[in-house]
Chains A and B, each alone.
Chain A
Amino acid sequence: MNAELKNWVAIGDLTDIPREGARVVKTDAGCIAVFRTVDDEVFALDDRCPHKGGPLSQGIVHGTSVTCPLHNWVFDLATGLATGADEGAVPVTAAKVEGGKVLLAADDLARRSAT
C-alpha cells in the first residue's frame, strides 16, 4: 500500500511521549505502544510481545529498538521484527510526526480492528 494514500489520525503531541520512551494508545483491538526515539522519530507497534504477551510500551527504548520488560526480547521498531536469536514479529502501525502532532495511519488501525 502506498503511504501517500493513507489517512492519518492524530493521537496527541510529540512532547506527550518522553524521548527514548513510549505511551499507550488504547483501541478496541488492544493497546498500541507509540515510541519516540532519541532523534524524535515515532514508531507504533502492538503493545504485546509475541513471546509471552509482555507490554512493549514498558520496555527500554534504545536506538530504533525496544527491549521487552518481561524476558528481554528485542524488537526493531521500524519492522516489528525480533532481532538476535529470537524469532517473532509484532504488527506495525505506520506513524509519523507533523507539526508536532503524532499521527497513526487510519488504514492500519482499521485493519487491526478487522482482524
Chain B
Amino acid sequence: MLRAWPVKRPRSKQRNETGMATMTKQKLVIIGNGMAPGRMLEHLFDQAKDAYDVTIFNAEPRVNYNRLMLSPVLSGEKSYEDIITHGDDWYAEHGVTLHKSARVSDIDRASKTVTSENGITVDYDKLVIATGSNPFIIPLPGKDLNGVLTYRDLDDVDEMLDAAKGGGRAVVIGGGLLGLEAAAGLKMQGMEVTVLHLMPTLMERQLDPAAGFLLEEEFKRRGIDVRIKANSHEIVDDGTGNVKGIRLDDGTEIEASIVVMAVGIRPSADLAKTAGLDVNRGVLVDDTMRTADPDIYALGECVEHNGQCYGLVAPLYEMAEVIADNLLGGASEYSGSVTATKLKVTGVDLYSAGDFAEGEDREEIVLRDACAGVYKRLVLKDNKIIGAVLYGETADGPWFFDLLKKQSDVSEMRETLIFGQAYQGGAPLDPTAAVAALPDDAEICGCNGVCKSKIVGAITDKGLTTLDDVRAHTKASASCGTCTGLVEQLMQVTLGDAYNPSAVTPMCGCTHLGHSDVRRLIKSKGLKTIPAVMQELEWTSSGGCAKCRPALNYYLVSDWPDEYADDYQSRFINERVHANIQKDGTYSVVPRMWGGMTSSKELRAIADVVEKFNIPAVKCTGGQRIDMLGIRKEDLPAVWADLGKAGFVSGQAYAKGLRTVKTCVGTDWCRFGTQDSTGLGIRIEKFMWGSWTPAKLKLAVSGCPRNCAEATCKDIGVVCVDSGFEIHFAGAAGLDIKGTEVLGLVKTEDEALEHIVALTQMYREQGHYLERIYKWAKRIGYDEIRRQIMDDRDKRKAYYDRFVFSQKFAQVDPWSERVSGKDKHEFKPMAVLTREAAE
C-alpha cells in the first residue's frame, strides 16, 4: 500500500462539471488521525465513495478513537476497545492507507509531498492538516521529571493508569474541564488526589462562581483535595529524576508520586508554520477552511478561524463537514460556533453555554435548591437568553441552548422559564413530554450536531429499534454520550411501546447493565461481594435472581481468587453438590479419568460401586469418561467415598469449568502418532482441573492430523504435527457446529501448555457467564486473541501467572471435601415426619 514516488508523476487535473477527477483518482493526504478528520472522511465517503485515494499519517500507534471518552477509560468505566470509532476494518473497507506511528516532519508545497519522521513520502493533490493541539506545559522547574504527565491521548491515560497502580498521591494542576476529569478518574483508580487551581473558582471559563463553588464542594465530598488560588512554584525532585512532590508559591509542599498538567492546550501549528503557511495562535484559515495555500486545508484544534481556536468537538465536526463538501467541489463556509460544555464525570451534572458574565444591560433568573444540590442560572439580554449555567439538573440544557442559538424571545414564558420546558403552557410532567415538544430542528446531540428530525427520520425510515442502531445511523449519542437519555426518550416518543430500552441486553431483569459493563465495574470499583455489586451497581431487585447470581459469583471467583468467598447459594445445584441433577431428581456421577486413560483397578472400583448402590445406568461419555446415572442424593457422599478409595476425584462433569481433555494414544501406540498426545493431554488436565470458566471448557489433543481425538471441534484443541503442536480454539459441536480457528504453532510441550493456559485465562477474564469460548472469540476477534496470546510475550506470561495464582485456591477435590463432612446438610433431610408426628 505504501506509495513513495521518487520521480514526479504527471497528475490528472482534468475535472468534469461536478468537480470530480475524470482520469486517475486524486490523492488526499491527511496529517493527523483525530476525531475531526475521522468525521470529515465519513462525510466525504457518504457523498462520494471513490473520489479520492486517501492516506492518513497518525503520530499515535493506533486507529481512531473517541478522545471525549478518555475520562471514562481513566476512571475504569470503559476500555480502549469500547472507544474505538474507526477500527482497522474500517480503513481496509474504505481503501484508506493509515500509517501508524508516523509523525509528519515536512510538507514540501513545491513538489506537493509530505514526509514522515520514519521516512515515508507521499504526494498529494489535496492536503488536510489536522495536527490537533499540544498540552500546555507550565515552564516550572522540574517540569521534565519522570512522573510529570499531561492528559491528551491514550498514552497519557495508560501512563496515569500505570502510576495509579502504585498508589500514592496525584497532584493535578488545573481545575478546568480536563483537570477535573483527570482528578475524578485518578481518584476512582484509588489514588489520593489534589487539584491545584490558580483562579478563585473551578472551571471559571464555563461556570459562574456559584456553580463553581457547588462543583468544588462535590469534589471535596468525593475526597479530592481542591486548592484554589494555588500557584505552583516548583516540582520537587526525589534526587533520582522522579517526582517527589510540588511546592507552591506560599511555601506549602505537597508530596506526590505524579503531577498531571492540565492547564490548557495550544494549537499544534509548527508543521504548518515551517511549511510557510500563515500561522498566528493556530493555522489561519478562511471561511472555506483553506489555509494560505488553496490546496491545503486545516481542520480541528490546530485551526484559528476568525480569531477563535476551538477545543470542543462540536465546532470541529462543523469544520469537518465544510471541508468534506469543499473537497468535492462544493462552496461551503464555516461561520464559527457557539458552544456548550458538559463535564464528563459520572455523577456530576453540569451544563453551560454562552456568555454569563454580569452586566448592566443584562438580567438574570436564578433557581437554587440547596437540598437537591441544584443551581440554575439564565442570563437574559433584550428578552433573549445569552447564557445558561445548570448544575445538578441539566435535562433542560438542550432546550435553553436551542433558545439561545435561535435568539428566541422568551418574554412570554419568563415567569416559568427557569423551571424548564415541561412547565411551559401547562404541559404534563411526563418525562418524555419535554422531548416530544422540542421543535424538529432542536439539537439533541451537541457533539455531532444531530437534530431531532434527523433522529426521528432515521428511526422511522430505517426501522431502528435499538440505541446502538440509532448511534450507528445518526451518530447521535455516539461521542460523549451525555445526550443518551434524550435520544432514548426520543426513541420512546417515536416508537411508543415498540421501544424496549433493555434491548441493549442487560444481564437479567435485575439490572440495566450488560455483562461487559458489570465485569468492568467489578474490577474498576473493586467490588468483592455479591451484595456490594448489587448495591454499587444499583440492582433493582433485593436479592438478584437465578440468572445474575451465578454470573456474579463466577465473576467474583474469577477476578478475586484469593479474596472472594465462593457463595454456594448462588451456584446452580450441580455445582453446589458436585453431581449432575437428572430429570427425576436423582444425580449422575462422573469420576475424572485423566486424558481418558483408566485401569483395571479403577474399572473394578466403578463396578463395585455400581453394584453396591444399585446404580441403574452406566454409560461412556463423549469426553472419554464413565458416567453413573440415577444415584439418590443421599447416597452421593458414600459413592464418592468408595470412588475416592480407588483414587478417583471429581470429573467436574457438572461445572462451568474445565471438563475433560480427550486424547488419542499418540506415539505410545499409534503407528501414525507424531507426539505424545496422551501425555500432553494428561499434563494439561492435571494443570487445569478445578478451574472455573465462564462456560464449560472441553479440550482434546490429537497425536496427528488424522485427528482421532476430534480436537478441531473443541473449545481448545491441539493437533500434534512433526514440527510441534498446532493449537486450535473456538470450535463448537453442540447447538452450533463450527470448526476451530488456528491460534498458532509452537515447538514444545511446555510452550503448548503455556499458550493454552494463557488463552484460558484471557477467556476467564473476559467471557460473559455461559458464553462458550467460540462466542467469546467471535466477539473479541480472532486476530486480537492471536495478538495477545501468540505475539505479546508479556501479556501471555501475565495471563499464565494469573491462572497459576488462581489455581492455588481452585484445585481442591470437592468430593473428598464432602466425604469429610463439608456441606453435609445438603445430603440429609432436615427432618422425617411420620403421620403420628404430624397429628
Bound: A113/B545 CA distance, A: 33
Judged by a CB distance under 8 angstroms, whether B834 is at the interface is: yes
Judged by a CB distance under 8 angstroms, whether B831 is at the interface is: yes
Bound: A21/B228 CA distance, A: 55
- Looking at B11-19, B536-544, B806-814, the stretch in contact with chain A turns out to be B536-544
Judged by a CB distance under 8 angstroms, whether B779 is at the interface is: no
Residues of A within 8 A of B542 (CB): 38, 63
A23 in complex: contacting residue of B546, B576, B830, B833, CB < 8 Å: B830
Bound: A52/B582 CA distance, A: 12
* A residues 12-39 touching B (CB-CB < 8 Å): 12, 16-21, 23-28, 31, 34, 37-38
Residues of B within 8 A of A58 (CB): 573, 576-577, 581, 585
**Contact (Cβ within 8 A) A18 B569:** yes
**A106/B572 contact (C-beta < 8 A), A23-B830, A59-B546, A69-B581 known:** no
**A60/B569 contact (C-beta < 8 A), A72-B546, A106-B838 known:** yes
Judged by a CB distance under 8 angstroms, whether B837 is at the interface is: yes
Residues of B within 8 A of A109 (CB): 833, 838
- Specify the main secondary structure of chain A where it touches its partner: mixed
**Contact (Cβ within 8 A) B839 A23:** no
Residues of B within 8 A of A110 (CB): 838-839
Residues of A within 8 A of B835 (CB): 28, 113
**Contact (Cβ within 8 A) B832 A60:** no
**Contact (Cβ within 8 A) B831 A113:** no
Residues of B within 8 A of A54 (CB): 585
**A26/B838 contact (C-beta < 8 A), A54-B585, A69-B581 known:** no
For B510, the closest partner residue in chain A by CB is: A62
**Contact (Cβ within 8 A) B543 A20:** yes
Residues of B within 8 A of A72 (CB): 546
Bound: A24/B833 CA distance, A: 11
Bound: A59/B825 CA distance, A: 15
**A28/B834 contact (C-beta < 8 A), A20-B543, A69-B573, A72-B546 known:** yes
Query: Distance in Å from the Cβ of B586 to the closest Cβ of chain A?
Result: 10
**A62/B829 contact (C-beta < 8 A), A55-B585, A69-B572, A113-B838 known:** no
Interface size class of B (residues with CB under 8 A): 20 to 34
For B577, the closest partner residue in chain A by CB is: A58
Bound: A25/B541 CA distance, A: 29
Bound: A110/B830 CA distance, A: 19
Query: Distance in Å from the Cβ of A49 to the closest Cβ of chain B?
Result: 10
Query: Distance in Å from the Cβ of A74 to the closest Cβ of chain B?
Result: 7
Residues of B within 8 A of A70 (CB): 581, 583
Query: Distance in Å from the Cβ of B57 to the closest Cβ of chain A?
Result: 55
Query: Distance in Å from the Cβ of B30 to the closest Cβ of chain A?
Result: 54
**Contact (Cβ within 8 A) B550 A26:** no
Bound: A62/B546 CA distance, A: 7
Q: A26-B829, A31-B829, A60-B546 are in contact. List 17 more A-B contacts (CB 8 A).
A: A9-B837, A11-B833, A18-B825, A25-B830, A27-B838, A28-B835, A38-B542, A52-B583, A53-B585, A58-B577, A61-B543, A61-B569, A63-B545, A70-B583, A102-B830, A109-B833, A110-B839
| Residues on B facing A (Cβ under 8 Å) | 541-546, 549-550, 568-573, 576-577, 581, 583-585, 825, 829-835, 837-839
| Residues on A facing B (Cβ under 8 Å) | 9, 11-12, 16-21, 23-28, 31, 34, 37-38, 52-55, 58-63, 65, 67, 69-70, 72, 74, 102, 106, 109-110, 113
Ranked nearest first, the 10 interchain pairs of A and B with the lowest CB-CB distance are A67-B546, A23-B830, A20-B569, A109-B838, A11-B831, A58-B573, A63-B543, A60-B546, A69-B573, A55-B585
Sample 23 A-B pairs with CB under 8 A, ordered by A number. Answer: A11-B830, A12-B831, A20-B569, A26-B832, A52-B583, A54-B585, A55-B585, A58-B585, A60-B549, A60-B550, A60-B569, A60-B570, A60-B571, A60-B572, A61-B543, A61-B569, A62-B549, A63-B542, A63-B545, A74-B545, A102-B830, A106-B839, A110-B838
